[in-house]
Structure 1
Amino acid sequence: MDFLASTHLHITTWVLAIILFLVALAIANPKVVHMILRVDYILIIITGIALFIKGMDYGQGMLYGLKFIAGILVIGMMEMTLVKKKKEKPYTTFLVLAFVFFFIALFLGFKLPMGINFLA
C-alpha cells in the first residue's frame, strides 16, 4: 500500500494522462490513445484513493475529500471532451471545465501536507 500511496507515482500518472489527453485532442483518430488514457484513469484513481486513505492521518479529511472530488471531475471532463470530439459535437465547455477542475485539484494537491511545497 505504501507504493500506491506515493505522491510521485500519482503525479507521474496524471502527467502522463495530461500528455495523452493533449495527444488525443490533436490527432484525427485517437482510438488507441483514448483506450490507453482510460487505463491511466484507473491508475490515477487507485493511487488517488491510496493517497486519500493515507491523507486521513493528517486531520484534513475535508480538503482531501474535495481534492478527490476535483480529481474525479477532471477525469470526467477529460472523458466527456474526447467523447464529444469523437461524435463531432462542440466540446469547448468540457475542455474549459477540465482545465478549471485540474487547476483546483492541482492547487489543493500542492497545498495539502502531502503535496510538494514550492516556496520552501
Structure 2
Amino acid sequence: MEFLASPHLHITTWVLALILFVVALAIAKPKVVHMILRLDYLLIIVTGVALFIKGMDFGQGMLYGMKFIAGIFVIGMMEMTLVKKQKGKPYTMFLVLFFVFFLVTLFLGFKLPMNINFLA
C-alpha cells in the first residue's frame, strides 16, 4: 500500500493521462488511445484512493476529500469530452469544465501537505 500512496506515482499517472487525452483529442479515430486512457483512469483512481487514505493522517480530511471529488470530476470531463467528440457532437463545454476542475484539483493538490508547496 505504501508504494501506491506515493505522490510521485500519482503525478506520473495523471501526467500520462493528460498526454493521452491531448493525443486522443488530436487524432480522428482514437479508439486504442481512448482504451489506454481508460486504464490510466483506473490507475489514477487507485493511487488517489491510496493518497486519500494516507492523507487522513494529516488531519485535513475535508480538503483531501474535496480534491478527490474534483479529481473524479476531471476524469469525468475527460471522458465526456472524448465521447462527445467521437459522436460528432459539440464538446466545448466539457473541455472548459475539464480545465476548471483540473485547475481546482491542481490548486488543492499543491496546497495540501503531502506535496510540494508551490503556492507559498
* Distance in structure 2 (CA, Å) of the matches to 1:96 and 1:33: 21
Q: Are residues 1:97 and 2:110 paired?
A: no
Q: Are residues 1:18 and 2:18 paired?
A: yes
Report 1:40-119 matches (<5 A).
Answer: 40-118=40-118
Partner of 2:20: helix, strand, or coil? helix
Give TM-score, length-normalised by structure 2. 0.98
Specify every segment of 5 or more residues in structure 1 that has no aligned partner in the other structure, as ranges.
none
Give TM-score, length-normalised by structure 1. 0.98
State the number of aligned residues. Answer: 120
Specify every segment of 5 or more residues in structure 2 that has no aligned partner in the other structure, as ranges.
none
* Distance in structure 1 (CA, Å) of the matches to 2:17 and 2:40: 6
Shift of 1:44: 0.1
Shift of 1:20: 0.2
Kindly indicate whether the alpha-carbon contact (under 8 Å) linking 2:111 and 2:119 is maintained by their aligned counterparts in 1: no
